[in-house]
Amino acid sequence: MKRDSRLSSVLHALIHMAERDAAMTSTELGTCLGANAVVVRRTMGLLRTAKIVTSDRGHTGGWRIASDLSTVTLRQLHEALGEPIVFAVGNRNERTKCLVEQSVNAALDGAFAEAEALLLKRFENITVADLAAGVAKRQTKRRARHKSRTR
Amino acid sequence: MKRDSRLSSVLHALIHMAERDAAMTSTELGTCLGANAVVVRRTMGLLRTAKIVTSDRGHTGGWRIASDLSTVTLRQLHEALGEPIVFAVGNRNERTKCLVEQSVNAALDGAFAEAEALLLKRFENITVADLAAGVAKRQTKRRARHKSRTR
DNA sequence: TTTCATGTAACTATTGTTGTTACATATGGC
DNA sequence: GCCATATGTAACAACAATAGTTACATGAAA
């Protein structure tokens, strides 16, 4: 399967929107992400349903942030995207009468469930604002490097 | 993408082979797994490369276990299968000049790496023999249930 | 009223496993 | 030696989910 990069995309989009603090069109976001404007609308539409952003049509329209990004966690974004399947690996037949397969499934499911729980727990503890702050730090560093080179 | 169920498949196959303690043909295994014989050959071929099983052609041919299953861990099987990608979710652009995307990628990669490490650690601690023992337990239980019903 | 933006539908492209067909090759039994 | 049986592969279609594309309807502001 093609890997699902929508969480990565919406994070990227939200932070750019936060830096701008003004409406951004799907085309602008698409250019930013290197993605198609229709795909942007499709994906951002899920965030609108979750009331994380709003959208307006016509002139001066586009996408706007509609909630405090310090309260929006990666977990919430994952949920807003419909909790897509996390693993590319899984059992062959989820329901089976074969005892062997049942045992195998139980063991694998346990391991996968544990890993997914850990991932979602990490997602709960990271807000979009945290990531935005990380970006600000990187920008400061880059400016410092540039300054020292040109001095 | 279709989810990768090869780990589940080879575990199922190995345990059936262990119960039989005789060569099993690809067709027999395929029937067992509800899978195609060619796919069985393809996947089991990877285990042969890893010297976990052997195969023979012609009459009395088929697949045989070639190592002590109490020393074969799920991690080894995962490696034998070529360490397939575990996550169906990932970053959009792995390498990018955009600082925003770099920060997002770093945060997501960290969380994914942690979850994958946990999963592989679990895989290291489970042997095929462990699962086979689990199957034996289930069979005992089923027999007990059956006995009490027919008494 | 025109222009710009979102909202959607209906496709194709992509990317990996899985399924299928076909055929080459080796092996054991007669 | 011949034949049935099994693996070994190649080549391609099927599948499943996101991503990309084209086309057009709809709403809002200049």
Q: What is residue A140's predicted lDDT score, i.e. its pLDDT? A: 85
Q: Indicate the Cα dihedral angle A135, A140, A142, A148, nearest 10°.
A: -170
Average pLDDT over residues B75-86: 96
Chain A hits for B31, CB-CB cut-off 8 Å, are none
Average pLDDT over residues B63-69: 96
**CB proximity A75–strand D (7 Å threshold):** no
Question: Is the CB of B115 less than 8 angstroms away from the CB of A105?
Answer: no
Q: Residue B106 above 60 pLDDT?
A: yes
Q: What is residue B149's predicted lDDT score, i.e. its pLDDT? A: 64
Min Cα distance A131 → chain B (Å) is: 7
How many helices (H) and strands (E) would you count in chain A?
6, 2
Which range has the worst mean pLDDT, A126-130, A143-147, B120-124, B127-131? A143-147
Q: Give the nearest partner residue to A87 out of B33, B87, B101, using CB atoms.
A: B87
CA B85 to CA A99: how far, in whole Å? 28
Provide the chain A residues 75-134 that lie in CB contact (below 8 A) with chain B.
84-93, 98-108, 110-112, 114-116, 118-119, 122-123, 126, 130-131, 134
Write out pLDDT tens, residues B3-44: 999 999 999 999 999 998 789 999 999 999 999 999 999 999
Domains of chain B: 6-143 (1.10.10.10)
Q: Residue B146 above 90 pLDDT?
A: no
Among the listed residues A113, A103, A89, the one whose alpha carbon sits nearest the alpha carbon of residue B11 = A103
Q: How far is the CA of B20 from the C1' of C21 (A)?
A: 31
Provide the chain B residues 4-33 that lie in CB contact (below 8 A) with chain A.
4-5, 7-9, 11-12, 15-16, 19, 32-33
Question: Is the CB of B92 less than 8 angstroms away from the CB of A116?
Answer: no
| Contact by Cβ (8 Å): B76, B1 | no
Q: What is residue A151's predicted lDDT score, i.e. its pLDDT? A: 52
**CB proximity B78–strand C (7 Å threshold):** no
Q: What is the percent of chain B with per-residue pLDDT over 90, rounded to a whole number?
A: 79
Q: How far is the CA of B36 from the C1' of C18 (A)?
A: 8
3-class SS of residue B57: coil
Q: How far is the CA of B40 from the C1' of C21 (A)?
A: 16
Structure tokens at A59: 């002139």
Q: In a structure prediction context, what are the per-residue pLDDT tens digits for chain A, which is 151 residues long?
A: 678 999 999 999 999 999 987 899 999 999 999 999 999 999 999 999 999 999 999 999 999 999 999 999 999 999 999 999 999 999 998 888 889 999 999 999 999 999 999 999 999 999 999 999 988 888 787 788 777 766 5
User: Where does the pLDDT of residue B115 fall: very low under 50, low under 70, confident under 90, or very high at 90 and above?
Assistant: very high
Q: Residue B151 above 60 pLDDT?
A: no
Q: Give the nearest partner residue to B88 out of A4, A126, A130, using CB atoms.
A: A4
Q: How far is CA B7 from the centre of its chain?
A: 2
Q: Give the nearest partner residue to A111 out of B103, B123, B134, using CB atoms.
A: B123
Report which residue is nearest nucleotide D19 when distances run from CA to C1'.
Answer: A39
Min Cα distance B113 → chain A (Å) is: 9
Q: What is residue A149's predicted lDDT score, i.e. its pLDDT? A: 66
Q: What is residue B21's predicted lDDT score, i.e. its pLDDT? A: 72
Distances (CA, A) of A55 to A36, A42, B107: 17, 12, 27
Which of A100, A114, A127 should be substituted to probe chain B, the one whose Cβ sees the most B Cβ atoms within 10 Å?
Answer: A100
Q: What is residue B150's predicted lDDT score, i.e. its pLDDT? A: 58
Q: What is the CA radius of gyration of chain A?
A: 20
